[in-house]
Amino acid sequence: MPAKKTTTQTSGPADGFSPEERAAMKARAAELRAEGKKGAKKADGLQQVLDAIAAMTPADRELAERVHVVVTGTAPDLQPKTWYGMPAYADAAGKVVVFFQEAGKFKARYSTLGFQDAANLDEAGMWPTAFALVEWNPDVETRVRALVKAAVS
């Protein structure tokens, strides 16, 4: 009896990965390949972050630039790099501590400031790992600075 052939179509989120998710995975694969190469990884990472920020929509770019300034100023030991195509900042072990996800990347309502497992934000039995960013103001800057400082403490 011949084997039955099946075909799978991935046209949307319900059927598989969206085009945006596929693009993010391809970007991450390229990042992993680049990390394996010798050379000026630190400078390359910074340039990748700046290029990722430059490619954003004006509203996302403005937020990402402010996040970049605060993170690099508050935690200069974190290394800029891209992570799934997003600006991110990693510890000495190369683990992402904090990242910025633009609203336009996944057609979301707001940009996100996120923290990974390497961030020291543990508090009791529950703590936030992501924050919606819709505008930049002095209060937001103060809060982001405090979160980044705690994350690397």
Domains and CATH numbers, the chain: 19-151 (3.90.1150.200)
> Tens digits of per-residue pLDDT, 87-130?
999 999 999 999 999 999 889 999 999 999 999 999 888 999 99
- Mean per-residue pLDDT over the chain, rounded: 85
- pLDDT of 66 strictly over 50: yes
Q: What is the mean pLDDT of residues 9-25?
A: 63
Q: Which residue type does 115 have?
A: F
Predicted confidence (pLDDT) at residue 1 exceeds the cutoff of 60: no
- Cα-based torsion angle of the residue sequence 48, 23, 132, 77 in order, rounded to the nearest 10 degrees: -30
153 vs 13, higher pLDDT = 153
End-to-end C-alpha distance for the chain, whole angstroms:
64
What Cα–Cα distance (Å) separates residue 79 from each residue in 6, 13, 54, 100, 105?
46, 33, 18, 14, 22
Tell me the C-alpha distance between 55 and 53, whole Å: 5
- The pLDDT of residue 7 is 44
